[in-house]
Chain A
Amino acid sequence: MIELVNIRKSFGEKVVLQDVSATMQAGKTNLIIGSSGSGKTVLMKCMVGLVKPDSGKILYNGKDFTAMNDKDKKDIRQEIGMLFQGSALFDSMTVEENVLFPLDMFSVGSYKEKRKRVAECLDRVNLSDAAKKFPAEISGGMKKRVGIARAIVLNPKYLFCDEPNSGLDPQTSLVIDKLISELTKEYNITTVINTHDMNTVMESGDHIVYMYQGLKQWEGSNKEIIFAKDEKLNDFIFASDFLRDAKEMRQMEMFQDRDWRNKMKKDGNEPKS
């Protein structure tokens, strides 16, 4: 579990994060959503230690990451895998070498064992055929999958994904979302995803944090979000008629579930039709 306690960060005069407190649930897919400039990328960078918050605490299983010495930080970082928005693959290395790199740097196994692990990871993301290709020779979706394979090769406890669907077509986005959700369950990883893809919000997110102008505006599950009363959140998520219709359909579906029906009736959230 990752707990954020009163995280504050500013760049010069501009306050980017204002006392953000949230919890990223263990073994779940946690989403940080919000419009561009809302501070979600800075929040994620604070969580992985790329940006130092001005104040506040980031607790990894109760241990304060911000107050750790370099050695302890390094230990935590070796439990973190990250998928970057632009994939951040090493251009001079092949797909296979990219995935092998963290193993070469940190694991003590034999070369044969490392190659086996790389083959497993590439197979898991359906990229066994592209092992010998360079990043420049593969598509955006494939690059994301290589990024995922590299992120999971050391069996991380935490997986961070910065806008995993940016620049991808809807079909490829679904593949990436599905893959991340499966890996989260398979390896029991605490996953944190930065996104503004509504499909990801509806389909993949177990726990959602909504950021608005540097503040945490709302936090809850992907079912609770359907009934959230927050106006800013609703304007952001259900921005189009199509999405509003989808919301109503989802409410109808949830109404079939007895527990949810009782809760909806209690809260006065019964579907209109």
Chain B
Amino acid sequence: MIKGMFTRPENGKMYWKEFMHQCVEIGIGSLGIVLIISLFLGAVTTVQTAYQLVSPIIPKATIAQIVRDTMILEMAPTMVCIVLGGVIGSKIASELGNMRVSEQIDALEIMGINTKAYLILPKIMAAIVTIPMLVITAAFLGIWGGKMAGSLSGILSDEEFMQGLRQSFDGYNVFFALAKSYTYSFIISSIPAYYGYYVQGGALEIGRASTTAVVISCILILFADYILAAILL
């Protein structure tokens, strides 16, 4: 499937239009869910870290440090991408599956269009461009959610939180998060595209393909999470 995507486009302008359309669908379309889950992930991380740090000798600012690193290293890339795997993955698989079943893909083929290049490549490229942006946004929002939860519940003040955020920050963590998010964005878009594109049958099979695509994407994300951690950390 991947090999078949790389051919000379029939009309570069149309491919660019489709790519931008997919950027809007994947990027802007997922912003709402990313906003909600990252805020809550940050807030919960703050509250649960505070609950576990019972020693009086550990400064409260450490909570912010843990929230920051947890959000950057794991929550923003992995958790957000697992959720996006469900949202974007099912959308891609069902959209392509429906196009296959209703012969829309055949119609494009007969027009002389390379359907793998026109339908799948823009989706993968758009995911690779927009998902890392969403992950960065999620990391910021998660940290902000953690700060809000800390001050609203009286666990630590805004000043303590900001102090903790600045303590022993390692830029490599951001690189690691981005490496994860690029890998996940490829998984999230290519696996559902494969299952959707090659679906055979009717509505029931589209549903099955969609579910299988999401399950396999999630498993592969977790597997890649471990491999990347073992290699890069």
Of the residues A78, A88, A90, A104, contact of B112 by C-beta under 8 Å: A78
CA distance A85 to B102 in the complex (A): 9
A80 adjacent to chain B (CB < 8 Å) = yes
Q: Which residues of B contact A88 (CB under 8 A)?
A: 102-104, 106-107
What residues on B are CB-neighbors of A105 within 8 Å? 10-11, 14, 111, 113
Q: How far is the CB of A68 from chain B (nearest CB, A)?
A: 12
B110 interfacial contact with A, CB 8 Å: yes
Does B159 belong to the interface (CB within 8 Å)? no
**Chain A residues touching B, range:** 20 to 34
What class of interface size applies to chain B in its complex with A? 10 to 19
CA A41 to CA B11, docked complex, whole Å: 30
Contact A82 B110, beta carbon cutoff 8 Å? yes
Q: In the complex, what residues of A have CB within 8 A of residue B10's CB?
A: 105-106
Is B111 a contact of A84 with CB atoms below 8 Å? no
Report the Cα distance A74→B111, complex, angstroms. Answer: 8
Residue contact B104 to A77, C-beta cutoff 8 Å: no
Q: In terms of DSSP, what is the predominant structure of the interface of chain A?
A: mixed
- At the interface, yes or no: A180 with Cβ under 8 Å from chain B? no
Flag whether A37 is at the interface (Cβ < 8 A).
no
CA distance A160 to B103 in the complex (A): 14
Whether B14 contacts A104 by the Cβ 8 Å rule is yes
Q: A104–B11 contact, CB under 8 A?
A: yes
Shortest beta-carbon distance from A47 to chain B in Å = 11
On chain A, the residues within 8 Å of B111 by CB distance are: 77-78, 102, 105-106
Complex partner residue of A90 from B11, B104, B106, CB under 8 angstroms: B104
Q: Give the contacts of A190-233 with B (CB-CB under 8 A).
A: none
- The CA-CA distance from A218 to B163 in the complex, in Å, is 87
For A48-70 the 0/1 string (1 means CB < 8 A from B) is 11100000000000000000001
Closest to B7 in A: A70
Interface CB pairs A-B, < 8 A, 28? A48-B110, A49-B109, A50-B106, A70-B7, A74-B112, A75-B112, A77-B109, A77-B110, A77-B111, A77-B112, A78-B111, A81-B110, A82-B110, A84-B103, A86-B102, A86-B103, A88-B102, A88-B103, A88-B107, A89-B104, A91-B98, A91-B102, A102-B111, A104-B14, A105-B14, A105-B113, A106-B111, A106-B112
Give chain B's interface residues, CB within 8 Å of chain A.
Answer: 7, 10-11, 14, 98, 102-104, 106-107, 109-113
Given contacts A74-B112, A75-B112, A105-B11, 13 further A-B contacts (CB under 8 A): A48-B110, A49-B110, A50-B109, A77-B110, A77-B111, A77-B112, A78-B111, A82-B110, A84-B103, A84-B107, A85-B103, A102-B111, A104-B11
The interface of chain A, by Cβ under 8 A from chain B, is 48-50, 70, 73-75, 77-78, 80-82, 84-86, 88-91, 102, 104-106, 160
